[in-house]
Structure 1
Amino acid sequence: MAGLKDVLCTAILISLLLPAVAEEIPVYTIADTTGDWGYPSPYLHYSRGPGYVRMSFIFDTLVWKDQNGFVPALAESWEYLEGENAYLFNLNPNVKWHDGEPFTANDVVFTINYIKDHPYQWVDSSIVDRAEKIDDHTVKIYLAKPYAPFLDQVAGTLPILPEHIYSDVTNPEDFQDPKALTGTGPFKLVDYDKAQGTYLYEANEDYYQGAPKVKQLKFVKLSSEMSGPALKRGEVDATAVPPEVADELRGSFVVLEGAHDWLAKLMINHKKEPFSDVRFRQALAYAIDREKLVEIAQRGYGVPASPGLFAPDSEWCNPDVEQYEHDPEKAGDLLKEMGYVKKGDFFEKDGNTLEVELLVTSSNERAGEIIKNDLEEAGIKVNMRSVDSKTLDNAVNEWNFDLALSGHGGMGGDPEILNRIIGEGYTFCSDRYIVNQTLNDLLDQEVAEMNPDRRKQIVKEIQLVYSQQLPSLPLYYPESFWAHNGKVDLYYTKRGIANGIPIPLNKLLFAK
């Protein structure tokens, strides 16, 4: 008996010491209010965060991030070679493409060369000078110049393509063959319904980090009003929810509150008069009551934005920027400096009423109404027009607008986001403001500065100049909430998925 007892005790001890085996989840369903975010290939997904996330389940990058920071992905390890201004990546030798072909350094070199001829919307290919194969599982990537956020913005964002498939693809934006979805990631696409806005993925059982614990991953389209009830009925496992619904679900479900990583802002067409005059843009800032926007449009669930872009609780925020407290009288004084004269309710110049068009979407019409009322109280007549989000993004991209209520995530990621949303790196949510040389120089210095303390100081200087120039007007940071049933322990990725996406759907959650 003593021997049997010893065996049992030993077995129990071993079971306690062994790592827990992740419980398999047959199907995990996520609700999304928009639904369609494009075909989830690198060149066809829609260029907002949810589109990238859909693609990321299929394609891997050299490195990735979890809730604590960078972790290995296609590369097992890496190092920065300062003398060569290059990164050396040691690749995982066990990786295979979904079709069974081995992944090698050739695929990395091919991808770097490919995006120079076929730009990928999320990565600036000019950052990289060249990629060099050392052997089948080692690659060296030379930078064109010192670039502090390389791991975040390139190695951790660029999906690596299969050379044996994409080498014959001359127009990747038109490549919607199933082969276009041959990745190395933890999931494969089974079904995509553009009209219904649904996605169905199945686990890649040969995934090099182990077979995913979630066997099928589903995205379904549901309105924000229906998402909470669907979670309660067990029809979905996770969903973004309105703040009031989040309050109701606490206790019965896990509720995650996001950081202030998403920025709502007023896009301004600074290429044409009167918006090209900095005084007019400052007048807009004084005219709009950002506190009221949060209190009414966000029902108190948010924080007024800093004119320097970063939220007050961000590690990068400069608290010393001009705040433009609500002051319609100051707005009027600036308009008078520009030669406008108040006649009746509105300002005029040369017999023409000062009149602007404001584009909004159905999701932010309430905020649009507040902005319209504020501007009209300050003497600027506003015609508000509601369009769908893609129409608004296209209008901004083509400079076919006056003012547009828009926004984007990424403010919790690397401060390189400033280069993309101020300079010409983005389209629909970028100011593309290049007329101020001081600002241009600071943006160049910021990404090239490898010393963290000096870099932080440059970021503060950028915010000072930006808050004076106001190529767009930061409005508020909404508070965001996700609720889930606990089957998967959702978390927010440190500094956001890839280059800063503030969505708690990191693919590692469903794979490990």
Structure 2
Amino acid sequence: MKNNNKYALSVVAMAMAAVTLPAWATQLPADLAWESNWDEPLFASKEAKRGGTYRSYMRSFPQTLRSVGPDANSGLRQYFMDEAPKLVQRHPTTGKWIPQLATAWAFGDDHKTVYFQLDPKARWSDGEKVTADDYLFMLKYYRSKDIIDPWYNDFFNNHIDDVKKIDDYTIVITAKVAKSDDELLYMMSLPSNGLQPRPAHFFAKVKDENNDGMDDNFVRKFNFKAEPTTGPYYLDKVKKGKSVTFKHVGEDWWGYSNKYYQHRYNVDKIRLRVIRDEDIAKKHFEKGDLDAFRLIQPELWHEKSNTAPYQQGYIHKLWGYNAVVQGAGGLWMNTAKPMLDDINVRKGITYATDYDGLIKNVLRGDYLRKPHGLGTGHGDYDRPDSVPPTFLPEKAVTYFEKAGYTTIGADGIRLNKDGQRLSFAVTYSRPARTPRVAYLKEQAKQAGLELTLNLVDGSSAFKYILEKKHELAYLTMGGGKIPAYWEYLHSVNAKPQTNNHTNFRSPAMDEKIAAYLAEFDTTKKQAISHDIQQMVSDAYVIVPGYMAPFTREAYWRWMKFPTPAMTKDTHYLFSNEGYLTLGTYWIDSDVKKQTKSAMKKKQTFDPVVVVDDTYKP
């Protein structure tokens, strides 16, 4: 009998130790059917070895060590929150729910309530137990105005009705509106939603004059003070402006009692140095100062990774395909800026943006075009007939002329009757993307449109965009299996420090989003999703960009990983500046010594290129 089916409490007690009939069961509905799932395939390797320091880099030092509040939606938040354990999580290949901080779960009859049985082995990185009180505190934490984070304030006030404690290891979470069982778990496990415990003991002694459970000076006080974590790594050392080092909790990390965590997170430390220039980082990598380096950019994979260390077999290469959700992104137009509030201008920009040519001529045809600005990979939530707009400069001209840009200046750029140039700055964050934006700039000239390049380094770029200082933003966001629309499109978020990067305002869209959030029936919800996507297309606020359904990485031969290397949800194989990753890699210290010795003796190995095309589209 498979234990991922539903059981009555008495059956669960007999069937598996992980869902034992608790003494407090009389306080719960008598007909609860508990679920768990210990039957999914493992994706880590039993050959993994523990130990060593994994060395990587980040392009800029984070502006905060907080995971919420101003400037927190960038930098190291993946380490602090997004990739920390949830109550439950989808298996990275099968997509089925598996236990993490909760060992079992059950659904109420109201389609709003989920009961969770917490893992009593779970511990914070400082050794304290993770209990129901940490989830009660979580609600105070996110509802507090002191965190200065409108998104979380809204979500935990308007989407989460309550969190209750049955006993130290059992909680009840109730949503505001009815949802299917799958959507309830999804909402309660999505990293960005923050439904993870917060260490109540860590915030026990704070100045809280407004009595909302949080320090009145939270943002400043905890700006560079990391909270304890339930994950395998805690922040150990910080050298401001230079580096951060994460240290493993140890062999006794509570997660290793969960079969899905075994043989993962194998290195003792992860050290991230600040190296602002990617070319310089590549040189550090090829000298052996870093252990891995991403080769996503075509010129890196096809041309710049054929040097001596690769030819001599010291450095290996991996091209691994995945099936991850592709988030919203492309060219975001800030409709609050002059000229961009005119839909004819936005239409013109859309047809003057040559993403298809960019993919073919700059990206070597390796990437694919997104069918829609709100991303793809959401299954039936995506419009099946979405087709990205093509590059049609003649069509763009007709829209620019409708907007009043009927004169062509000496430099070929269009002007209106007031002499205002048809010119917009494109904000982007990496020097490696300069050739891409430059290509769009050159192609846009055919329609009399000027695109200027506004490179803002690293996390500062996202801050710049969050503050709505941009005109056009060359940006891709993350995404989940069920698309999120409120944060990107609702009028209430047309303000600084939100993800409404277009500053889009529409009462009709607000009504549609409200209907989407309230809809229980999955088929009807998907139909509303189609409507929203069509409305975004009709508003011309995001030019759909490109997507790379793979990772390409170089690594020293002492870095090891499972076979096959990839799961459907493997964004990156090795940890890097923004991702902790699934942590299935390890360092073979014997191979490292062998390699170092061979290099001194001028001995070489055969070159190695691994291609895992299991999930190639």
Does TM, scored on the shorter chain, surpass 0.5? Answer: yes
Closer/same/farther in 2, CA of residues 97 and 301 from structure 1, 3 Å limit: same
CA displacement, residues 28-52 of structure 1 (integer Å, 9 cap, x when unaligned): 5153452534555534796456623
Deviation readout 1:77-107 (Å, 9 max, x if unpaired): 1123241611111111122223332221111
The equivalences for 1:47-86 within 5 A come to 47-48=72-73, 51-56=76-81, 59-67=84-92, 68-69=94-95, 70-83=97-110, 85-86=112-113
1:155 aligns with 2:209: no
Q: Counterpart of 1:140 in 2: which secondary structure?
A: strand
Amino acid of the structure 1 residue aligned with 2:561? V
CA contact (8 A) 1:188 1:202 kept: yes
> What is the CA deviation profile of residues 433-470 of structure 1, one whole-angstrom value per residue up to 9, with x for unaligned ones?
55223322332333333333333322222211111112
Tell me the equivalent position of 1:487. Answer: 560
User: What residue number does 2:139 align with?
Assistant: 112
Aligned to 1:256: 320
Aligned to 2:339: 274
Q: Which amino acid aligns with 1:144?
A: K
Give the Å deviation of 1:201: 1.7
- 5 Å-filtered alignment, 1:338-353, equals 338-344=403-409, 345-353=412-420
Counterparts of 2:136 and 2:415, CA distance in 1? 59
C-alpha deviation, 1:186, in angstroms: 1.8
Hey, what does 1:467 align to over in structure 2?
Answer: 537
Structure 1 residues 230 and 384, CA gap change in structure 2 (3 angstroms): closer
What's the TM-score once normalised by structure 2's chain length? 0.69
* Structure 1 residue corresponding to 2:428, chosen from 316, 335, 360: 360
Q: How far apart, CA to CA, are the structure 2 residues paired with 1:272 and 1:57?
A: 32
Work out whether 1:103 is the aligned partner of 2:130: yes
Per-residue deviation, 1:220 = 3.2
Q: Where does structure 1 lack aligned partners over 5 or more consecutive residues?
A: 1-18
- Would the alpha carbon gap of residues 292 and 30 (structure 1) be closer, same or farther in structure 2, given more than 3 Å must change? farther
Contact 1:200 1:217 in 2 (8 A): yes
Q: Identity over aligned residues, as a percent?
A: 19
- In 2, distance between residues paired with 1:59 and 1:304? 31
Aligned to 2:49: 24
Task: Give me the CA root mean square deviation.
Answer: 3.7
Deviation at 1:495, TM superposition (A): 9.4
Q: 1:182 Cα shift?
A: 1.7
Give the secondary-structure state (helix, strand or coil) at the position aligned to 2:129.
coil
Conserved 8 A contact 1:416-1:446:
no
State the distance in 2 between where 1:356 and 1:454 align: 42
Structure 1 residues 502 and 276, CA, compared in 2 at 3 Å: closer, same or farther? farther
Greater mean deviation of Cα atoms: 334-343 or 144-153: 144-153
121-130 vs 308-317, which deviates more? Answer: 308-317
Task: Find out whether 1:191 has 2:237 as its counterpart.
Answer: yes
1: CA distance between counterparts of 2:245 and 2:82?
A: 11
Correspondences of 1:401-412 after superposition (within 5 Å): 401-410=470-479
Alignment size in residue pairs: 488
Structure 2 SS opposite 1:331: helix
Correspondence for 1:144: 176
- Counterpart CA distance in 2 for 1:219 and 1:264 is 30
Residues 1:380 and 2:449 aligned together: yes
Residues 86 and 24 (structure 1), Cα distance of their counterparts in 2 relative to 1, 3 Å cut: same
Give deviations 1:326-358, integer Å, cap 9, x for gaps. Answer: 111211111222233223433322332323231
2:111–2:179 Cα contact (<8 Å) kept: no
Give the stretch that moved more between structures: 424-433 or 284-293. 424-433
The 2-side partners of 1:75 and 1:107 are apart by 13
Distance across 2 between alignment mates of 1:145 and 1:108:
20
Partner of 1:9: none
Inter-partner Cα distance in structure 2 for 1:122 and 1:216: 35
Q: Unaligned regions of 5+ residues in structure 2, if any?
A: 1-43, 207-214, 587-617
**Residue number among 247, 255, 272 corresponding to 1:220 in the alignment:** 272
SS of the aligned residue for 1:256 comes to strand
Cα–Cα, structure 1 residues 161 and 473, in superposed 2: closer, same or farther, change >3 Å? same
Measured after TM superposition, the shift of residue 116 of structure 1 is 0.4
Q: Secondary structure at the match of 1:220?
A: strand
Cα deviation, 1:313-336, whole Å, max 9, x if unaligned, reads: 966442434643211121111122
Residues 429-444 of structure 1: matches in 2 within 5 Å?
Answer: 429-431=499-501, 433-444=503-514
- Which of 132, 145, 149 pairs up with 2:164? 132
Q: Distance in 2 between matches of 1:276 and 1:476?
A: 25
Partner of 2:246: 200
Structure 1 residue 232: deviation in Å?
6.9
Counterpart of 1:378, as a letter, is: A
State the one-letter code of the partner of 2:486. Answer: N
Contact 2:87 2:101 in 1 (8 A): yes
How is 1:6-21 mapped onto 2 (pairs within 5 angstroms)? none
